[in-house]
Amino acid sequence: MYNIAIYLYLFGVAVASIFCEKVRKMWRGEREAVRILRQKVDPKARYAWFHAASLGEFEQGRPIMERLRREHPEYKILLTFFSPSGYEVRKDYEGADIVCYLPIDTITNARRFLRAVRPEVAFFIKYEFWYNYLHILKHRGVPVYSVSSIFRPGQIFFRWYGWQYWRVLKCFTHFFVQNEISRTLLSTIGIHNVTITGDTRFDRVLQIKEQSTRLPIVESFVGNASDGKPVRCFVAGSSWQPDEEIFMKYFEQHPDWKLIIAPHVIGEERLQQIQNMTKRKVMRYTQTDETLAKEADILVIDCFGLLSSIYRYGTVAYVGGGFGVGIHNLPEAAVWNVPVFFGSNNDRFQEAQALKSCGGGIEICSYDDFAAQMDKLSASPEEIIRRGKLAGEYVASQAGATKKILDSVRI
């Protein structure tokens, strides 16, 4: 049944690639992956394979890759992606020796791929459970680890009809899960090779904070008010249109705040859409300089790779996705000791629940809700500092997953 579904999916991707550029990139990249491996793989080298679906999973795997490279230089790193949103951004990542797409999980593709690289250890990040790859790896005796994985009762593995699906979980050597719920669920289907280590993403955001560099244009934009006091700045990261419709309306009426927006999707249509939502002076990051930035009210980040450092300039932060696909990277903002707003679609995100519980995160459901919360913070700088400190302390308390994982794997 699984293999039939995969071939139907493969046919659907082939058709969709005719009409969609993103799907076309993935389709081409997957077909070229084995050729890339044949060209680049060193047959005498030992490879550790990391697979991430997209950019978010890559960030979770990155601390492990970089620490493994430092502590075990005898291994080369193969990094694969499923989604173009991960591959296109990180295809030149210097921490890996080879970066490519992972071909669709057919038996033939899996055999060709693994025959080409012959990994000695594999790490699948968070939600990656590819039946054919995993069964072949198990058959070959290759240790396979599920890293920063998280399980929920509604997943197919734990349904009465899911016995055919949870067999793939038996292929893993060990699960490094984020919470006790995941361990308990796995135990109900007879899987006990599980350790709670938390989320490696916290290690990554703390690392980013330590390594962050100054951004002169952003510093000039934030600047100081005419009375010499620092300007209050609201940083919105990974935003979508439903997010922007809420906070842009508020800041139209509050010119004492400056606004930085880093939309999740960067394209001319989206950037123009944001500019059309306001009458305040807007500038794009790549089209301005330190002098011009001083005159802007809103700075739109129209390039990748800056958001994690931009949060440091915020008085308050907002992480998008909570009115649609799901919240993006909350720890990336919270690590900078700022209160973090997010939308109501957050039940599946334990970091959102934890930030709400400790007071460092603020859930909103509507414009009126957002306006009321922002008014409270605007009236009390001390409350902004208090909530920001709670957010930063929460992130710091979650560190250490990377060390726990690498201290336990068989390498």
Q: CA dist 281 to 292, 295, 296, Å? A: 11, 8, 5
pLDDT tens per residue across span 113-170: 999 999 999 999 998 888 999 999 999 999 999 999 999 998 888 888 877 778 899 9
Mean pLDDT score, 272-284: 95
What is the structure's pLDDT at 29?
60
DSSP 231: P
Mean pLDDT score, 228-242: 87
**Residue 348 pLDDT > 60, yes or no?**
yes
Mean pLDDT score, 209-238: 84
CA 306 from chain centre, in angstroms, equals: 14
Is the pTM value of this prediction over 0.75?
A: yes
CB under 8 Å to 109, separation ≥6 — which residues? Answer: 34, 103, 132
What is the structure's pLDDT at 12?
57
CB under 8 Å to 246, separation ≥6 — which residues? Answer: 323, 364, 366, 367, 370
Query: 248 with 277: CB under 8 angstroms?
Result: yes
Q: How far apart, in whole angstroms, are the C-alpha atoms of residue 377 and residue 385?
A: 10
Q: How far apart, in whole angstroms, are the C-alpha atoms of residue 237 and residue 346?
A: 16
**Residue 294 pLDDT > 80, yes or no?**
yes
Q: How far apart, in whole angstroms, are the C-alpha atoms of residue 12 and residue 342?
A: 34
**Residue 227 pLDDT > 80, yes or no?**
no
Across all residues in the chain, what is the average pLDDT? 90
Q: Position 323: which residue type?
A: F
What is the structure's pLDDT at 238?
94
**Residue 31 pLDDT > 80, yes or no?**
no
Q: How far apart, in whole angstroms, are the C-alpha atoms of residue 124 and residue 173?
A: 11
Mean pLDDT score, 81-104: 89
What is the structure's pLDDT at 7?
53
Q: Which of 175-179, 208-212, 286-290, 333-337 has the lowest mean pLDDT?
A: 208-212
Q: How far apart, in whole angstroms, are the C-alpha atoms of residue 258 and residue 218?
A: 11
For residues 186-224, one letter each, b for 16 or more C-beta atoms within 10 angstroms of the residue's C-beta and e for the rest, the string is: beebebeebeebbbbbbbbbbbbbeeeeebebbebbbee
Tokens at 390, concatenated: 């709670």
Q: Which backbone phi and psi does 104 adopt, to 5 degrees?
A: -50, 145
Task: Name the band, by pLDDT with cuts 50, 70 and 90, for residue 77.
Answer: very high
**Residue 16 pLDDT > 80, yes or no?**
no
Q: Is 12 exposed, middle or buried (0-12, 13-18, 19+ CB in 10 A)?
A: exposed
Tokens at 385, concatenated: 């500092």
Mean pLDDT score, 96-115: 91
What is the structure's pLDDT at 23?
59
DSSP 159: S
What is the structure's pLDDT at 288?
95
**Residue 45 pLDDT > 80, yes or no?**
yes
**Residue 88 pLDDT > 70, yes or no?**
yes
Task: Name the band, by pLDDT with cuts 50, 70 and 90, for residue 305.
Answer: confident
148 in helix, strand or coil? strand
What is the structure's pLDDT at 19?
63
Q: Position 113: which residue type?
A: F
